[in-house]
Every structure is written in C-alpha cells, then in structure tokens.
Amino acid sequence: MPGRLFKIITIVPFFYGGLLFAQQVPSDTLKLEDTVKLEEVRIKAKASAVSRNSVSSTLSQQQLDMSRGAALGDVLKAVSGVNVLKTGATISKPVVHGLHSNRVLILNNGVRLEGQAWGAEHAPEIDPFIAKRMHVVKGAESVRYGAEAIGGLILVEPPELPEGPEVRGELYATAASNGRSLATSAMLNGGVSVWKGFGWRVQGTFRKAGNARSADYFLGNTGLGELNYSAAMGYKTAHSAYEAYYSQFSTTLGIVYSAHVGTREDIDARIAAGRPQENYGFTYDITAPRQRINHQLLKLKAHYDFKDHQSMTVVYGLQQNHRKEFDFRRGDREALPITDLVLNTHTLDLDLEKTLPSGAKRTYGFNGLLQVNNNVPGTLANTFIPNYDSFTGGVFAIQKWPGKVFDFEAGLRYDFKTFDAAGFRFLTDQPEGASDQSATDSNQSGDSGAAGVSEEYYGGQSQFHNITGSAGALWRLNQSWHLTSNIGVAWRAPTANELFSNGLHHGAGLYEIGDPSMKSEQGYKWINAIKHFSGPLTFELDVYAQLIRHYIYSQPDLSYRQTVRGTYPVFRYRQTNASFVGADLSASYRFLPRLSYQVNAAIVRARDIQNDRYLPYIPADRVDHSIKLELDVKGLQESYIQFGHGLVARQHRYDPASDFAAPPPAYHLFNFIAGTRYAIGSRQLGANIGVENLFNKSYKEYMNRYRYYIHDMGRNITLRLNYTF
C-alpha cells in the first residue's frame, strides 16, 4: 500500500500545478521559459506512536496546557482509568487500572525509563514540560516493549524536530498558591539555513515550591526544587533520519515531617489524633528527610528506509539515575544519605519493518538492556537493596493486517533476563529457629564486637525466561461505532527489594522481608473498548479483565520483629494469583454549540485469588465530570470557562490485616478553570487560571500512603501563561 500511495502523492502536485498553471497563462502559447519546475513533494506517513489495535488515550497539547506545572502523575490523571499513588504532597506515581511502579512501563522519548521504580515513594523522573503529547496504552504491551508493561504503557512524546531554519519557541510560566510555587519552562527550536534537514531543540524547566498546605494546616517540609534541561539534534534525508537527545532531570523534594514515625504505637497515636499535633509555618527550606535525584538520558536514533518497503530503526539509550535519600540522623550524619544508589542502564532497540505485498506490515525486533546498580559507599547505613548487574534480551515479531473494516494484529516475543546481586548488611540476630533468607549465597556470622549482631553477605543469581504474545483487532462497524479488542500477555521480573529486603521500611512502620526465590510475574489482560462518535455524543467505554500469575506484594506475616527501637510487624513479599477487573468511561456531550459536558469514571475490582483477600492500595471508584462553556470574546480565541466536580467513593475492598486504619470516607472536590488565547500574528499568548479544591475541603485520599498522618491538599489557585513564537 505505501509504495502506491507514495507514487500517487508525489504525482498529484504535478497534476495540480499543471492545471493551475494552465489556468493562469492567458496566452495560447506556452514558452519554455514560462514553465515552472515544481519541487518534488514527498509526504511520508509518520507511524503513529500507538497501534490502532490497542486501547489507548492521548493527552493533546491543549489538555497538557491545562495542567502545566504539575508532576507527571497528576497530569495523567486526566485520562479515565489512570489514578495516582501519592506519598504526601510532593510525590505521585501514575496508576493504570490499579497497577503502578514496575507494572506500568514509562517511555521517555521512546526509551524505557529506568530508575528505582520499585519504590512506592519514587516518582517518575520525567519533566512533563518536554511533552507535546502523552499517550496511555491500557493493555499488556510486553510484545512490543518488553518487560513491565503489565497494566499499561505511558509514552511521553516531545515535539518533532523542525526541518526549517526559523527559530521558534515556547515559554511557560505557572504560579500556584498552594506551596507558593513557580514553574517556568522555555523551549527553542530551529534549523540551520545552510544545512537542510537539520533541526535542533533546547529546553529547560525550573520549579520551586515551598511547604504545601492542607485545608487547615501547613505540611512541614514539603518543599520541592527541580531543574531540568534537554537538548536534541536531528537530521533527515530522503531515506534516513538521525536523532541525538540528551536530557537531565534533577529534583530535591522534602518528605513531610509528620510522617516520621517509628512503631505501630506511633502510627496508631497519629491515626487517633487525626492530624499532626505540631504546627509548621511556610518556608521554602527543605531539610531531612528528603530525596535528591538526578537522572540523565542520552538517546541516539537512526532510521533508514530501504527499497522494497523495508525500514530499520536503531535506538541506543544510556541512562544514569542517581538517587540519594536523607533521613533524620544523629551525630553529624544528617548530611550523609541513608541510601545512595547509582543505576546505569544501556538499552539497544532494533526494529526492522517490512510492508508485504498484501499490505500487511511485519515488524521484527530486538531489545537489549544492560543494567548495573551500585550502592555508593560512605552512607554509614545498611544497604536497602544490593549491588546488581542484569542483562535482558528480547526478540519479537509482530504482524499487522490493516483493512477497511477490520484491522488485526498479532505478536510473539521471547525474553531472557539474568540478574546477579551482591550486598552486605549488619543484622541483629534472628530469633532462634527462624530462617528468613531461604536462599543466600553465603551467610557468614562475624563477631563485630557487639553481641547479637551478625554480618550478612546477601544476594544471588537468578534467570528468567518468558514468552509473551498479544493479539488485537479493531472493528469499524460504521462511521460512528468502533470496537477494539486486545488480549496480551506481559511479564516482569521481581525487583531487588522484593527479592532481598530484610529490614525496617522507614516511615512505613514495618519490617520487610523479601524472597530471593521468587519467579517472574505474568499478566494476561483482555481489554475491550467501545467507541462512539457522532453528532453531539462521543464516548469510549473500556472494559478489562486481567489475571496476574505470581503477583508479588508484601503481606502481613502476623509475626513481629523485636528491635532496640521497639516491635514492628513483619511483612513478607510473597507471590499469589491476582485478578484485576474494571471499566473506564470517558464521554462528552455537546448540548449547545458552546456548551459541553464531559465525564470520566473508573472502577477497579482487584483480588488476591489464592488467599481470598483484597489487595492493598487499589483505587476506589471515582467520577470526574465538568461543564465547559466556550466563549466568543472579540480579539481572543478559544476562550472557555469550565466547572468540574469529582467524587471519590470510600474504598470498602481492603484487608484490615494489611492496613493500619480503615480507608477514609468518600469526598467531593470542586474545581474551576478558565482560559483563553491571544494571537499576535504568528505568535500566540495563552493564559488560564484554575482552582483545584475550590471550597478548600479537608479530606484524606486512600491512595495517599501518608493519609494516616496528614490530610490531602487544600485549595490551589494556579495561573498559567504560555507564549508560542
């Protein structure tokens, strides 16, 4: 299909040019010097980032402009079925259909984001300002992308590099009242006039916020500082394209003081009190406990178009994630991190695409990943996860059969992963008869000069093999009804903390123990989407069912670990079979030419099937809806006012043994946003002002791990300006 299309498209301009020319020349003779040679026009279809046979949602530039200044997790909440797992006010992670962390793969400009994602309080290291579009693919997408896309996939797409020489840019400035924060971002792109096909882009973002405020009180030590920048260069020729991209993301964020607790006694006391007993004021200062993360990414990409409708893409990625976590410490040690991890990852992705004579498209690919994690010595604290190196290699084949009524796609993949870990820690002696590490390479007891303390070298080697597959179809019933169905298998290997934890999980009041013998998880997901678009009503209903075999989560052991600080309940990482079933609805109805109503609703029903128990931290049912009035203001474009309401139900599906307190009650939140755009020639100035939690409601959110100690955010008024030139 593409070959013929190319020919048609390149010939058409000649035809039209000829016709136009014929009309313009009044004389009946055509002189040679009057002929105009038309430039050849090549239109290349750009492959969509997301397959039509998957169920996905896209956040456009306009939608992203309404949430500029927010962290990635909060930006993605606008997609039905996506929630956030929060840790206090400053940290949020996206949750897709009840799954998060290592079960949702995030692609940063086409490269897998590799950080210490296993931590519930480790937010993704991506600057949302870089994105022109974000896609959320809600299916088991391992075949194309490899491990960890069990719940879904998030693609953050920066803008395309320009090919023309003019310098263009965008400036953003946002200011928000809660946290008295400021976020500014600037982007410039252009080309070089003497070098056709070359484009460049530079971009940078600065964010600073002080203590956030719940409805009634400030949250001590919840400031944030972020500095990110990126640079990209690209070169396109008729048959190839090259790109180099570098980005740096660095952030410091404070962990709320009130979440610093020790044993269950502290936690129960805080829960009984309902809110912090101490008062903090506003400051931009961030002290311990805090996190400092620096993430660098280098991407090199080459794409070649060959004859016979074949093309090849090679992408090499190099990432370094340096994470330091600081806690309250005695002596002079507060300036030393308690955890200092450097994660280096090389990725190499190779795909070969071929369009068959029948019109079907076949892709073969290889994805390789080499990763090394090292603890930086000098922390004077036990390591939480070991040093490790790991190699993952996968090969896949996908074939797409596009059609007028039916599109069909199927794929198969094989992955192989090795994992080799070695760590050291001091442990207090285990109680007699108990053996916590079922498989450690060496377990030496050393006399360190103190009774009851032993040295432990921990770690081991593991290997994982996985075969995954997927099949998807799109049925265009008619102009206004589409049906998509996708069934896929995805996998992920257990993470270092799930394998090797053996210690106090600070701030969670638990003693966590891993299991080095765990197998990889396998998720089978079947998702169906019904889409309707005609006239005033547009909706999409996604319904899914997922079975995850060997699902890993930490469960209460119903035993206690006695330490010198007190007694802690023991939680062990175990594997079970889990089911996730749910539905997302996203609909909009246009009442009048200028008045429309939008609604997003999502429900998730998850269960630990083997132990007949509810799983922790599954989002409660929620509905978000809004009414938007488009205004016609002289001199301005796209002016609108929007009022919104959100209802989050109480979560009844929880396991009391896994939780310190019952989930908080249901709550309603109201919001408002108004925006407009002013054009000055080819330049645009956009502005919007939004208020979240309009009535300053005091509430607690079940998906906030610090809800035992603090309430969620109070009213927040944000002014956003953007200038495009």
Partner 1 sequence: MNKLRNYTLTVLVAVIALTFNACKKDPVAEVPEEEISKAELTFLEVEREAHDDHFHYNPIATATPLTITFDAQGLAPVGTHAHLTEGKTYKLTLKSYDFAGREMQQEFLDKHDIHQAFILGAPADVMTYVYADRDKDNKKVNVGVTGYLTVDEHTETGFTFRYVLRHLNPGVKAGITAANWNDASFATKFAGANDLDLKFELHPVGAAGHAH
- Contacts (CB under 8 A) with partner 1, residues 291-350: 302, 304, 306-307, 310, 312, 314, 316, 328-331, 333, 338, 344, 346, 348, 350
Q: Which of 6, 21, 118, 280 binds partner 1 (CB under 8 A)?
A: 280
Under the criterion CB under 8 A, does residue 269 sit at the interface with partner 1?
Answer: yes
Which residues lie across from 248 on neighbouring strands? Answer: 229, 296
Stretch that binds partner 1, among 11-19, 191-199, 424-432, 547-555 (CB under 8 A): 424-432
Of 175 and 372, CB closest to partner 1: 372
Q: Which of 177, 294, 428, 698 binds partner 1 (CB under 8 A)?
A: 428
- For the record, the structure tokens of 667 come out as 């709550």
Which residues lie across from 249 on neighbouring strands? Answer: 228, 295
User: Which amino acid appears at position 56 of this protein?
Assistant: S
Under the criterion CB under 8 A, does residue 262 sit at the interface with partner 1?
Answer: yes
- For the record, the structure tokens of 282 come out as 């506003």
User: Which amino acid appears at position 148 of this protein?
Assistant: E
Q: Which of 32, 405, 450, 592 binds partner 1 (CB under 8 A)?
A: 450
Quote the least distance from Cβ 500 to partner 1, whole Å: 11
Quote the least distance from Cβ 380 to partner 1, whole Å: 4
User: Which amino acid appears at position 303 of this protein?
Assistant: H
Query: What is the largest distance, in Å, between two alpha-carbon atoms of the chain?
Result: 109
Under the criterion CB under 8 A, does residue 92 sit at the interface with partner 1?
Answer: no
Q: Which of 205, 373, 522, 716 binds partner 1 (CB under 8 A)?
A: 373
**How far is Cα of residue 715 from the mean position of the Cα atoms in its chain?**
25
Q: Which of residues 195-224 bind partner 1 (CB under 8 A)?
A: 220-221
Quote the least distance from Cβ 433 to partner 1, whole Å: 15
Stretch that binds partner 1, among 18-26, 155-163, 375-383, 403-411 (CB under 8 A): 375-383
Of 387 and 598, CB closest to partner 1: 387
Of 4 and 565, CB closest to partner 1: 565
Whole-number Å distance between alpha carbons of 128 and 156: 8
Q: Which of 120, 188, 372, 636 binds partner 1 (CB under 8 A)?
A: 372
Stretch that binds partner 1, among 209-217, 384-392, 527-535, 599-607 (CB under 8 A): 384-392
* Residue 309: Cβ within 10 Å count: 16
Count the site residues for partner 1 by CB under 8 A: 79
DSSP code at position 704:
B
Q: Which of residues 544-573 bind partner 1 (CB under 8 A)?
A: 562-567
Whole-number Å distance between alpha carbons of 529 and 120: 30
Quote the least distance from Cβ 396 to partner 1, whole Å: 17
- For the record, the structure tokens of 432 come out as 């007699």
- For the record, the structure tokens of 103 come out as 């079960």
User: Exposed/middle/buried for 382, CB within 10 Å: 0-12, 13-18, 19+?
Assistant: middle
Of 194 and 450, CB closest to partner 1: 450
Which residues lie across from 182 on neighbouring strands? Answer: 175, 208
Gyration radius (Cα) of the chain, Å: 27
Phi, psi angles (nearest 5°) of residue 129: -65, -20
Binding mask 452-491 for partner 1 (x = CB under 8 A): xx-x-x-x--------------------------------
Quote the least distance from Cβ 611 to partner 1, whole Å: 30
Q: Which of 380, 595, 631, 633 binds partner 1 (CB under 8 A)?
A: 380
Residue environment code for 186-205, b if the CB has 16+ CB neighbours within 10 A, otherwise e = bbebbbeeeeebbbbbebbb
Q: Which of 60, 62, 237, 448 binds partner 1 (CB under 8 A)?
A: 448
- If phi > 0 it is left, if psi is from -120 to 50 it is alpha, else beta; for residue 617 that is left
**Which runs of E-coded beta strand occur in 166-194?**
168-176, 181-192
DSSP code at position 723:
E
Quote the least distance from Cβ 299 to partner 1, whole Å: 13
